[in-house]
Amino acid sequence: MTARRAGLSAALIDKAAFPRDKLCGGLVTGRARTQYRQIFGGDLSPDLFQPHDRIAFHAGGTRLGAVQNTPRLYLTMRRDMDAHLLDLALGSGASNFTGQRIAHLDVDSPRVTLANGAVLTGQILIGADGVTSIVARALFGRAFDPERIGFALEVEAPSGPATETIRIDFDAAKWGYGWRFPKLRSTTIGVGGLQAPNPDMKGRLAQYRTDLGDGAECAVKGHFLPFGDFKRVPGRGAVLLAGDAAGLVDPITGEGIALAWQSGAAAGDAAARAIAAGKPQGALRLYRRALGPLHRGLRMAVWLRPLIFAPRLNPLFRRAFGRSSVVKGAYLRLLAGEVEYPGLCLLVLRRLPRAALRDLRRRHAER
């Protein structure tokens, strides 16, 4: 959309024909909504994005708290949302090459040969082709680092009672969490986190579903998730990586939709500016500058992550989360895009020493 709006011709290639399923919780945050408004114009339609304002947090079988009137969150099915986004892109004049597998890729030209023999050349190539990106593989030899990658499993279970809330379970996976997202026609239940500390993610999902009382027969599906493993250099010259292909998933919340939209738009804008300047090879430099604040936030999130997930520290986090409306509020404001990581880091640095001291005193008194 951004490239088309800037007057470029654009070819949209996807191996899938739409509508297609994409494994995803489909939680759309306030941050994503802001991106949607800026990029696509208009607002999230309630037909596709159902608003929610209640969320419950659990850990180790204990309810840490429920929050009413949260900053607005939305739930969607990616099958519907992605078909809608494709319509918007085609409506803006992008050429449609969906349902076409890439047979060969030359990142130097850049030139793409499709399985049906068609050859597409362009000045800029944006690889927004997900976590197993063929473009990233062509650039760097592999799409992600297997030591640092995340993995998630999900089922679409039957719909629960109308009163069911969004639920997050911090203990359902190590260095990750579990989720139950009630939607119109199903309930998405999943667990995800870093892959290395969770060799039995299937067992974790089975346990989580048992804990939730979900015994329905349904297909379990899994997908990698670049959970904090973003590419410091997201491309080369006139070839840019966006979204999961660039590793842009929040290392704490697992949010990827907003970051994919933001980086896709930034890539389109960098492409337009580089072409206008007659220097397509300069696109990466412009793109990296645009992604600077996002990368800075992700680096801070990687720094904060052990406070939430490391086994030695997470009891402190959970106690603080359960007791303090400030901590819960900060988490929700982060989800909503009302606070970014620099602001959150400041809050943590200010409150952590006092919280740790209080916790130490309390545990000492309990002995």
- Distance of closest approach, residue 185 Cβ to ligand FAD, in angstroms: 16
Is 27 a binder of ligand FAD (CB under 6 A)? Answer: yes
Binding string, residues 224-243; x marks residues near ligand FAD by CB under 6 A: -x-----------------x
Name the one range near ligand FAD by CB under 6 A: 36-44, 126-134, 269-277, 336-344.
Answer: 126-134
User: Binding ligand FAD by CB under 6 A: which of 252, 255, 333, 336?
Assistant: 255
| Buried/exposed 312-336: b ≥16 CB within 10 Å, e otherwise | eebebbbbbbbeeeebbbbbbbbbb
Q: Which is nearer to ligand FAD, 64 or 166 (CB)?
A: 166
Interaction residues for ligand FAD, span 55-94 (CB under 6 A): none
Q: Which is nearer to ligand FAD, 144 or 355 (CB)?
A: 144
DSSP letters, 176-243, are EEEEEEE-SS-EEEEEEEESTT-TTHHHHHHHHHHHHT-------EEEEE-BS---SS-EETTEEE-G
- Distance of closest approach, residue 328 Cβ to ligand FAD, in angstroms: 19
- Distance of closest approach, residue 16 Cβ to ligand FAD, in angstroms: 4
- Distance of closest approach, residue 256 Cβ to ligand FAD, in angstroms: 2
- Distance of closest approach, residue 353 Cβ to ligand FAD, in angstroms: 32
Q: Which is nearer to ligand FAD, 74 or 319 (CB)?
A: 74
Is 269 a binder of ligand FAD (CB under 6 A)? Answer: no
What are the C-alpha distances in Å from 246 to residues 26, 55, 137, 229? 20, 30, 11, 9
CA distance 279 to 161: 57
Q: Which is nearer to ligand FAD, 156 or 171 (CB)?
A: 156
DSSP letters, 130-142, are -TT-HHHHHHHSS
Here the tokens at position 332 are 């929700």
Q: How many residues does the chain have?
A: 367
Interaction residues for ligand FAD, span 179-218 (CB under 6 A): 190, 192
CA distance 100 to 62: 48
Here the tokens at position 228 are 């904090």
Is 1 a binder of ligand FAD (CB under 6 A)? Answer: no
Name the one range near ligand FAD by CB under 6 A: 3-11, 141-149, 197-205, 248-256.
Answer: 248-256
- Distance of closest approach, residue 14 Cβ to ligand FAD, in angstroms: 4
What are the C-alpha distances in Å from 44 to residues 29, 38, 128? 11, 12, 22
Is 172 a binder of ligand FAD (CB under 6 A)? Answer: no
CA distance 29 to 42: 16
- Distance of closest approach, residue 154 Cβ to ligand FAD, in angstroms: 5
Query: Residue 167: CB partners within 8 Å, gap ≥ 6?
Result: 55, 56, 57, 58, 179, 180, 212
User: Binding ligand FAD by CB under 6 A: which of 77, 125, 128, 212?
Assistant: 128
CA distance 155 to 159: 12
Number of residues that bind ligand FAD (CB under 6 A): 31
CB atoms under 10 Å from CB of 213, counted, come to 7
Q: Which is nearer to ligand FAD, 181 or 321 (CB)?
A: 181
Q: Facing residues of 224 across strands?
A: 151
Q: Facing residues of 227 across strands?
A: 249
Name the one range near ligand FAD by CB under 6 A: 19-27, 65-73, 300-308, 310-318.
Answer: 19-27
Is 247 a binder of ligand FAD (CB under 6 A)? Answer: no
Q: Which is nearer to ligand FAD, 183 or 236 (CB)?
A: 183
CA distance 172 to 155: 15
**Which residue's CB atom is positioned nearest to ligand FAD?**
256
Instruction: Enumerate binding residues for ligand FAD (CB under 6 A).
Output: 13-16, 22-27, 101-102, 128-130, 134, 152, 154, 190, 192, 223, 225, 243-245, 249, 254-257, 260
